[in-house]
A and B are shown apart, each in its own frame.
Chain A
């Protein structure tokens, strides 16, 4: 019986050692990690949304930027539903936009996006807006 309990104890011990090592890895890699960077950038936007709200994602080029979409989806889950919109946004849509300076003008030449929240980091601009 002692051997039985020791096996369980040792197994859990290896999991603990692994977890501590992984926790250190996470702490060291925080600044370069896309999830952490996106989390810090778009988390404040969530204050302008209500639970269950559907938000459409528009990136500068979806094919190139898809990993931002997937990461943003994970960050917004479970409270909001982020959906990719490859066609033109429709009036009333709430949009999460990740783009560089040039792309914003290309997307909204008529300035028909009511910006609710905006943030800029070293690489991209982040917008939460309502399509007019």
Chain B
């Protein structure tokens, strides 16, 4: 099965390329205005590469061109519906972290002479160690247009909010159009997702890159379609996760562990070429500019004793319970169904394992670090869950679609089966 969401994945790749190129331009004191035209040229080059890779050759699973265009029209209508539902949550300058942190970082990054002021100890409240994918993208457009337009951070937020359901929809439509449609409706109806997306935070963007990397790595595992492109994209998105937010490590480590047999194959060596660009930007930033982050400054061996403190688990459990009831009402039921489906299919989904391990690592941080636990949970737990819920929605409906394909009556049905809904 080929990568049906490749057009959207390419746009995601260029989102990150703009930010990395802009960051390198800043470091080298090169005029940042050339970044957008250069990326446009790279976009055209990548289209040529996709064309030459054989991606457009008719594939065996292809049904009729009519279905392809019907998918496209349905996606367009659903995306407009999603935007219509999300737009009321949009604020001019975004929510707290957006204007206090991400957009402020972007402002500093517009000046190649004084951007390092951002890293001054006086700005400690502003988390200057955060990776620069989102702020550098915003800054690149601000520099190109020579205007601090408040629509640019909104544009970045909208990009992630509509790209996520688009990727899920296109990837699932190859398996079951019904499941693709249901997954899209989940995003449209998910108030917390729309709010978080429009808040101009980097969390939904991080969730987007989690999704992109899992989609590409799964494709790489199947060795279907243009393998070189898929391998490059897998590595690129995996490193982009790190270039977007610090907690990206908690996702990348499980991915490297679970998918090591796929990623380390000799024929997939382009994975490492893909990783090189965002990883180089991250290393330059972390090694030469960024101050030590919260984790590094608060790490002591005594913290390990917190794992034996039952009160911390109780607080986390109570808070998680409340959060699940208020914002993620369907999530506990979906998890039960997911486990049941995996047992029925007798197949452990590796992506699900990654999300589960990442979830455990996320939650262990709350236990480990000595900070005001209630405050930390109140300000970040919902966003951390949102990051992982994004790939989970894809995994859940993918598993459900696989389950449906195992039912002969469903699979052979003209309307519901593989070539229909």
Contact = CB atoms under 8 A, between A and B. Distances in A.
B342 interface: no
Contacts of A73: 104, 123, 126
Chain A interface mostly: helix
A78 B72 contact: no
Interface in B68-89: 68-69, 72, 75-76, 79-80, 83, 87
Interface residues of B, number: 50
Contact of A15 (B69, B158, B170): B158
Instruction: Decide if the interface of chain B is mainly helix, strand, loop or mixed.
Output: helix
A74 B87 CA distance: 24
B155 A18 contact: yes
A71 B93 CA distance: 10
Interface in A1-36: 1, 3-8, 10-11, 14-15, 17-19, 21-23, 25-26, 29, 33, 35
A73 B69 CA distance: 49
B123 to A, nearest CB: 7
Contacts of A25: 90, 92
Given A74-B107, A81-B123, A11 B117 contact: no
Interface residues of A, number: 36
Of residues A10, A14, A74, A83, which shows the largest number of chain B Cβ atoms within 10 Å of its Cβ?
A74
Nearest to B71: A3
A19 B8 contact: no
B108 A78 contact: yes
Nearest to A74: B104
Interface in B147-183: 150-151, 154-155, 158-159, 162-163, 166, 170
Interface of A: 1, 3-8, 10-11, 14-15, 17-19, 21-23, 25-26, 29, 33, 35, 51-52, 54, 70-71, 73-74, 77-81, 83-84
Across the A-B interface, the 8 shortest Cβ-Cβ residue pairs: A83-B122, A78-B111, A77-B107, A7-B7, A78-B108, A74-B104, A70-B100, A18-B158
